[in-house]
């Protein structure tokens, strides 16, 4: 299934302030947002597209006219260094659309899907050494429980972590469907009948394998530093922890004084660097969620460089 870009219209409308400017899509994925972005820019604009997944990047590169976009296989956590390498000092818009693309979910051998049997992998960057196999077979029970709890918000985290460890004590856990069976054995029957019981565990493992929250934490200050005045940063999140991180970053950088509230006179000389454009996150309407269920948990936040 082709990847349907989430909140594409509002995102690109917010992102583009200068049709001749420099733009970076940090998460090219299937190129949905990228294609829409190009329709708003003049041929003189410069567009850079990153993805840490080489397979996805190559597939998407073929969709676009040669020379129109600079495709770079890179992790956006290295944003500043990537732009330095390309000789770009500053940009007018930065898009970060987090999570996994349909392209990755639809390739069974990547191990992202709990519907298809595959080796436990889930690495977006296949050059990375650590895969889901390592977490499932080698991480201590406590650590597994913690990620299922925090990244997956999985209420049966303790039982699932225990079942994983008990199973692997008898022999290695190889595949996605083996893991699904272990999860099913650890949760009540009622839970198995609601949504797919592997959903939250797979999400947690994917976030941990790919260091998704660390990458977001690392990129936000770099994004701010490379934005031109008036340039926009648009971030689409699918997880409450990610959204909170973006919200707090925007709040902190948009405050002109960070003195303690009880202090009568400002001494911090802190200056606001961002203006928040979306006081509340933009969320998809019912119609979008109906034709693209993946959009359901999406939240778009936008800020502008002062
Ligand atoms: C939700 S998809 C993006 C979809 C895209 N906006 C579209 O419209 O087709 C997220 C993409 O970001 C990539 N990605 C995730 N974390 C990344 C990171 N830290 N650096 C670079 N790419 C990343 C994933 O490999 C995936 O292809």
pLDDT at 215 over 90: yes
**Which ligand 1 atom sits nearest the alpha carbon of residue 75?**
20
What tokens were used for 124?
């977006």
- 41 touches 19 (CB < 8 A): yes
Query: Can you give the pLDDT at residue 193?
Result: 85
For the segment 245-264, the average pLDDT, to the nearest whole number, is: 93
Query: Can you give the pLDDT at residue 258?
Result: 85
**Which ligand 1 atom sits nearest the alpha carbon of residue 124?**
25
Query: Please, which residues have CB within 8 angstroms of residue 195's CB and are 6 or more apart in sequence?
Result: none
- The pLDDT-based confidence of 143 (bands split at 50, 70, 90) is very high
- 20 touches 45 (CB < 8 A): yes
27 touches ligand 1 (CB under 6 Å): yes
- The pLDDT-based confidence of 3 (bands split at 50, 70, 90) is confident
Rounded to the nearest whole angstrom, what is the distance from the C-alpha of residue 232 to the centroid of ligand 1? Answer: 19
96 touches ligand 1 (CB under 6 Å): no
Residue closest by Cα to atom 5 of ligand 1: 29
Query: Can you give the pLDDT at residue 1?
Result: 60
Nearest CA among 229, 225, 245 for reference residue 150: 245
What is the set of domains in the chain, with CATH numbers? 8-103+212-305 (3.40.50.150), 129-209 (1.10.150.170)
**Which ligand 1 atom sits nearest the alpha carbon of residue 51?**
22
Task: Give this prediction's pTM.
Answer: 0.95
For the segment 55-71, the average pLDDT, to the nearest whole number, is: 93
Cα 293 from chain centroid?
A: 17
């Amino acid at each position: 299934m082709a990847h349907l870009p989430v909140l594409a219209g509002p995102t690109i409308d917010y992102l583009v302030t200068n049709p001749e400017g420099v733009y970076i899509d940090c998460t090219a994925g299937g190129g949905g947002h990228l294609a829409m972005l190009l329709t708003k820019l003049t041929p003189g604009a410069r567009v850079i597209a990153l993805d840490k997944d080489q397979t996805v990047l190559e597939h998407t590169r073929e969709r676009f006219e040669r020379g129109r976009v600079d495709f770079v296989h890179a992790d956006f956590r290295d944003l500043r260094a990537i732009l330095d390498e390309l000789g770009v000092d500053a940009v007018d818009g930065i898009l970060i659309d987090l999570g996994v693309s349909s392209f990755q979910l639809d390739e069974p051998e990547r191990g992202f899907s709990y519907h298809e049997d595959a080796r436990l992998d889930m690495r977006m960057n296949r050059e990375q050494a650590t895969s889901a196999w390592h977490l499932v077979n080698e991480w201590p029970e406590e650590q597994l429980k913690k990620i299922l709890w925090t990244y997956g918000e999985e209420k049966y985290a303790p039982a699932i972590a225990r079942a994983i460890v008990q199973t692997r004590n008898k022999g290695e856990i190889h595949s996605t469907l083996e893991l699904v069976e272990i999860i099913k054995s650890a949760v009540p029957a009622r839970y198995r009948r609601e949504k797919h019981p592997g959903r939250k565990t797979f999400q947690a493992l994917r976030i941990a394998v790919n260091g998704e929250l660390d990458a977001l934490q690392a990129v936000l200050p770099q994004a701010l530093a490379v934005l031109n005045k008036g340039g926009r940063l648009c971030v689409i999140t699918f997880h409450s922890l990610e959204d909170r991180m973006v919200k707090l970053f925007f709040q902190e950088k948009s405050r002109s004084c960070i003195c303690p509230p009880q202090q009568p006179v400002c001494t911090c000389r802190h200056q606001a660097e961002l203006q928040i454009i979306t006081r509340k996150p933009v969320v998809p309407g019912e119609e979008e969620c109906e034709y693209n269920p993946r959009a359901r948990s999406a939240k778009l936040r936008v800020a502008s460089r002062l």
